[in-house]
Structure 1
Amino acid sequence: MRVRDILDAPQLRMGLLHGDAAALERAVARVCVTDMPDPRPFVTSGALVCTGLVWRHGADDSERYIAMLARAGATGVVAGQALHGFVPEDVVAACARHDLPLLSSPQSVPFSRVIEHLAEQAAETRWQRVRSGLLRQRRLLAAVADGSEIGDLLTDIAAECGFSAWLLTATGAMVAATAPLSEGDIDRVLATALTAPRLPAVAAGGITVLPVCGRSGDRISAWYLVIRTETGCDRLDADSAGAELAAVAELYRVRQSERLRLRWDLADRLPEAFPEASGDPLVAIVCEVCSPGPVGDIESDADGSATATGIDSTPIPTGPASSPMAVRSMLHDVLADVVTGLDRAGRVVGYLPGDETEVAALLLRGFGRLRPVLGSGGIGIGVSALRHGETLSGALASATAVAPAESGQVRVRVADIDSAAGLFTAIPDQLQRRFAERVLGAVVDYDRRTNAGLLHTLEVFLGCEGSWRLAAERMHLHLNTVRYRIGRVEELTGRDLGRLDDRLDLYLAVRTLAGYTAPV
């Protein structure tokens, strides 16, 4: 309710003594009746103060009293005439100085009638809001059943309630929108969405961010409904509509996730043949993750968290951003046309037509938004375009060479022949495998017969840069056990890991056998 609504109510017969059009549009949250010498303990922000002017004994009292009302956040003043028979001019002047609209109440209208009128109007407003919400829910569910797109529902509800809305993934992919949203705005919104102690939350500029996820959902797999109210929009109605839209959008999110997983299942069972003969420029992508430690929920009891009015605010857990399935899903968010799969080492690999520099920039922007929630996990992404005469397997191998992940980081690198591993990937696949079999064939046969784990020990040892202690700690083995196994590798291969050239041979062979050149 506004001050104007009370002024225009015929049964109250109010008179306007001061207040312009803007002042009369102020919202009235409640009515407060007081004649205490110090009204501040009884006046809250948004209150319309009804007073019989009992406190006024002289003109100086008006300035003091009205100033206290203004500092307390009063919306306006209703002055009764029963005591003086009129409203003194010094009261009118004080209200004008402090920009408080002033209404006069006839002697025949008690303040209780003003309170009753406000209560009746508030009850009617609440009923209309509930009724409108129920009708809106029915329309939304009927539209979902009829197969309507989420973008159409978003546009219709936003236009009806007077707000702008966007539906985003955690990487910033736009699912639906009613207006453009800049990359900078997306960065700011997602920073709030991924790090706020509780959701819904309010971002800079009065933008409300609501989670679109199930009860067990997390901030990585969630979508986010972003709402910005326009002038004249009923904020409570907008909050209610936003919660309803978020619930419906969850149906679409789950449906899309199920479709994507079905595509993956079919693709993994019946992998596509590599488009080796295609003349289109292809870009290969390899995503490697390092597993995080336990990722706890973001604290939910932080003081001062900004939450949307009228919406239940619950803490949302942050899931494992660096799990292969999560990375694979996010890769499809960032690059809609990508074809993905898993290689033998469990890495997410894929390819799509495009320019490697542009693809790398898109990946860095999208995945880079996840840095705040990586914890101790990390994501490394290698990108490599097919060179002239190169196979897709070779491009994937080149991308793998630059994809190692680092704890707490998102790294995107474009492959180039600037290392021995990068140079090795330019060799045809058959020659790589033949080399690896010649170098490590005896070790593989020995492991197959005895299950001794020599190849895995060698891989860990090389990954620890030849440190016996680190390799033993990582494998939870005694130091002498690691020394014995590496000694057996040297005996079987005829190579000395103390020599740089022999270590490089073993390193390249291990990379090949570990699946670094494996297809999608």
Structure 2
Amino acid sequence: MRDLLDAPQLRMRLLHGDAAALNRPVARICATDMPDPRPFVTSGALVCTGLVWRHDPADSNRYIGMLAAAGVAGVVAGQALHGHVPDDVLTACERHGLPLLSAPQSVPFSRIIEHLAEQAAELRWQHIQSGADRQRRLLAAVAAGASITDLIADIAAEQDISLWLVTATGRIVAGTTSLSEEELDRIISTALTAPRLPAVTIGAMRVLQVGAGDRITSWYLVIRPTTAELDTSATDLAAIAELYRQRATDRLHLDWELTDRSSSSPAPHPEEPTVAVVAEIRSNKGALLDEFEWEVVRAALHDVLEGVTTSVDREGRLVGVVAGTQAEVAGELRRRIGRLAPALGGVRLMLGVSARQRGESMSGTVAAAAAAAAAAWDDEGVVRLRVADIDSAVGLFTAVPGGLQRRFAERVLGPVVEYDRRTGAGLLETLEVFLGCEGSWRQAAERMHVHLNTVRYRIGRVEELTGRDLGRLDDRLDLYLAVRTLAGHGVSV
């Protein structure tokens, strides 16, 4: 609206409005004197009115209130009808926070409309020219070998904004500042679930997709603030960023081709901490999915784990080997692969992680990770991750799929569970306490606050019902694993 005041040929006069109000952008201009202006105005419009609707001072508050509720940018009042702008119109604009300009009788509304149309056309032409200049500068920078980090920094400084280029797992390819994990969560959630892009996150960040491919393998340009004027420059930058994304994708596919052609993956250094990751992606019915889904997951794995080497084994599983610790690798996968869950649709992604132990072959480490991935099928969620723990009998047993664990426990302790249900004898609870006391009758009796002979009797009944001898190490191990399994699946012990 300040442009109207600055145009001497219009001879506009400011009656009300501070600097912030006058700097509001005008989306369109309309002239109306209808008793109810709401059907004829839109948010951001500048309303020109000859005040024909004003019959008495009370009309002003009602009419200006309707304009304010519609979100108009301001009001231009003509003086032809009354010879001046009545004070009640000014008071109503002050009350509702609308800037008010008065137009002299010699200036028709059509001249105001023509002036703003000329201003808008000039502005559009300047945007086109500046956009063409920007495109030439960006392409010249790319041809000269500029990094995407430099381009992001230059555009951000030029537009006085914050910019980031991120992947679907939350890796920051380039950016003006750091982002918290919570901010990345909101960005990726918007990028993967919004019906269409660009979209705005909670926290007012605009998210644009780089390229038009699959959302999981895309990059995203993130902008703060989210003003409309940035759309053209952001679109140009997104197009340039797609060149860099495609280069990175081509290099990754070349690495895959070289790895897949070799008979085996590069062997890690014997002293280097190394972790194996095995991934299986299946439909909800358990069927392995085709090559496209594997390429998506494979790319995501490389995005999360820097320096990982991947291949697809004979069983159709994705196998990765990377330097690091088991806790670090599992933590990164849980946090960042987990962000992809909304875009995976009707599939389940199982991940197994295993660290190579001292003296262990890499094939043994991969086998442990594969067992953990298979066992993860029984877990909840779209992305399911298990860490292999096979440095103990219990750890080895937990790598067995949950369905087989339950069948084992039911076969071993089924008669005991049924007996407890019928009689309430507490045999299963006594067995758990007895095993926890390392087979000490007296300690078990004291912990349960029962007589020593009661413990002896109950353990004797357990041996009769199961056909196991708790004096034998292998039988005791069977019962111990069965008790832990039932407890882990919610069976009261």
| Normalised-by-shorter TM-score class | 0.7 to 0.9
**Aligned mate of 2:370, from 400, 409, 416:** 400
2:80 counterpart residue number: 82
1:82 deviates by 2.0
CA distance in structure 1 between the partners assigned to 2:35 and 2:261 by the alignment: 81
Q: Residues 400-428 of structure 1, C-alpha deviation per residue, up to 9 Å, x if partnerless?
A: 110125396212221112787975999xx
1:99 counterpart residue number: 97
TM-score (norm. length: structure 1) = 0.71
1:342 counterpart residue number: 312
1:388 counterpart residue number: 358
CA distance 1:279–1:62, change in 2 (3 Å): same
Matched ranges for 1:208-287 at <5 A: 208-214=206-212, 217-229=213-225, 235-270=227-262, 271-275=264-268, 278-287=270-279
Q: Residues 229-261 of structure 1, C-alpha deviation per residue, up to 9 Å, x if partnerless?
A: 26xxxx333111121122121111111111111
Matched ranges for 1:282-321 at <5 A: 282-291=274-283
CA distance 1:322–1:365, change in 2 (3 Å): farther
Tell which has more relative contact order, 1 or 2 (C-alpha 8 A, sep 6+).
1
Q: Which amino acid aligns with 2:326?
A: E
CA RMSD of aligned residues (A): 3.0
Matched ranges for 1:471-510 at <5 A: none
| SS of residue paired to 2:164 | strand
CA distance in structure 2 between the partners assigned to 1:368 and 1:175 by the alignment: 19
Q: Which amino acid aligns with 1:403?
A: A
1:268 deviates by 2.6
Q: Which runs of 5+ in 2 are unaligned?
A: 409-473, 475-493
Q: Which amino acid aligns with 1:288?
A: E
Matched-pair contact (CA < 8 Å) for 2:265–2:309: no
Q: Which amino acid aligns with 1:94?
A: A
**Aligned mate of 2:52, from 54, 63, 68:** 54
CA distance in structure 2 between the partners assigned to 1:345 and 1:385 by the alignment: 21
2:416 counterpart residue number: none
182-191 vs 34-43, which moves further: 34-43
CA distance 1:87–1:347, change in 2 (3 Å): same
CA distance 1:357–1:192, change in 2 (3 Å): same
Matched ranges for 1:144-155 at <5 A: 144-155=142-153
| SS of residue paired to 1:369 | helix
Q: Residues 166-207 of structure 1, C-alpha deviation per residue, up to 9 Å, x if partnerless?
A: 212111111111221111111111111111222222222232
CA distance 1:191–1:127, change in 2 (3 Å): same
Q: Residues 468-520 of structure 1, C-alpha deviation per residue, up to 9 Å, x if partnerless?
A: xxxxxxxxxxxxxxxxxxxxxxxxxxxxxxxxx9xxxxxxxxxxxxxxxxxxx
| SS of residue paired to 1:74 | coil
1:332 counterpart residue number: 302
Matched-pair contact (CA < 8 Å) for 1:80–1:105: yes
CA distance 1:130–1:425, change in 2 (3 Å): same
2:457 counterpart residue number: none
| SS of residue paired to 2:373 | coil
2:344 counterpart residue number: 374
CA distance 1:323–1:48, change in 2 (3 Å): closer
| SS of residue paired to 2:306 | coil
Q: Residues 407-456 of structure 1, C-alpha deviation per residue, up to 9 Å, x if partnerless?
A: 96212221112787975999xxxxxxxxxxxxxxxxxxxxxxxxxxxxxx
Q: Which amino acid aligns with 2:357?
A: R
1:169 counterpart residue number: 167
Matched-pair contact (CA < 8 Å) for 1:190–1:369: yes
More helix by share: 2
Matched-pair contact (CA < 8 Å) for 1:283–1:385: yes
TM-score (norm. length: structure 2) = 0.75
1:63 deviates by 2.0
1:124 deviates by 0.7
Q: Residues 24-76 of structure 1, C-alpha deviation per residue, up to 9 Å, x if partnerless?
A: 12221122212222222222211111122222232222222222222222221
CA distance in structure 2 between the partners assigned to 1:238 and 1:332 by the alignment: 32
CA distance in structure 2 between the partners assigned to 1:421 and 1:329 by the alignment: 34
Q: Which amino acid aligns with 2:110?
A: S
CA distance in structure 1 between the partners assigned to 2:43 and 2:211 by the alignment: 35
Q: Percent identity?
A: 62
Q: Does 1:72 align with 2:70?
A: yes
1:340 deviates by 2.1
CA distance 1:36–1:424, change in 2 (3 Å): closer
Q: Residues 209-234 of structure 1, C-alpha deviation per residue, up to 9 Å, x if partnerless?
A: 211234xx21122111222226xxxx
1:32 counterpart residue number: 30
CA distance 1:148–1:292, change in 2 (3 Å): farther
Matched-pair contact (CA < 8 Å) for 1:207–1:226: yes
CA distance in structure 2 between the partners assigned to 1:282 and 1:11 by the alignment: 77
CA distance 1:57–1:409, change in 2 (3 Å): closer
CA distance in structure 1 between the partners assigned to 2:245 and 2:164 by the alignment: 14
Q: Does 1:415 align with 2:407?
A: no
Q: Which amino acid aligns with 1:330?
A: A
CA distance in structure 2 between the partners assigned to 1:424 and 1:198 by the alignment: 46
1:321 deviates by 10
CA distance 1:162–1:415, change in 2 (3 Å): same
Q: Which amino acid aligns with 1:246?
A: A
**Aligned mate of 1:142, from 140, 143, 151:** 140
CA distance in structure 2 between the partners assigned to 1:69 and 1:280 by the alignment: 71
CA distance in structure 1 between the partners assigned to 2:160 and 2:346 by the alignment: 42
2:39 counterpart residue number: 41
Q: Does 1:20 align with 2:18?
A: yes
CA distance in structure 1 between the partners assigned to 2:352 and 2:122 by the alignment: 60
Give the total of aligned pairs: 400
CA distance in structure 1 between the partners assigned to 2:209 and 2:393 by the alignment: 46
CA distance in structure 2 between the partners assigned to 1:324 and 1:422 by the alignment: 29
| SS of residue paired to 1:210 | strand
2:464 counterpart residue number: none
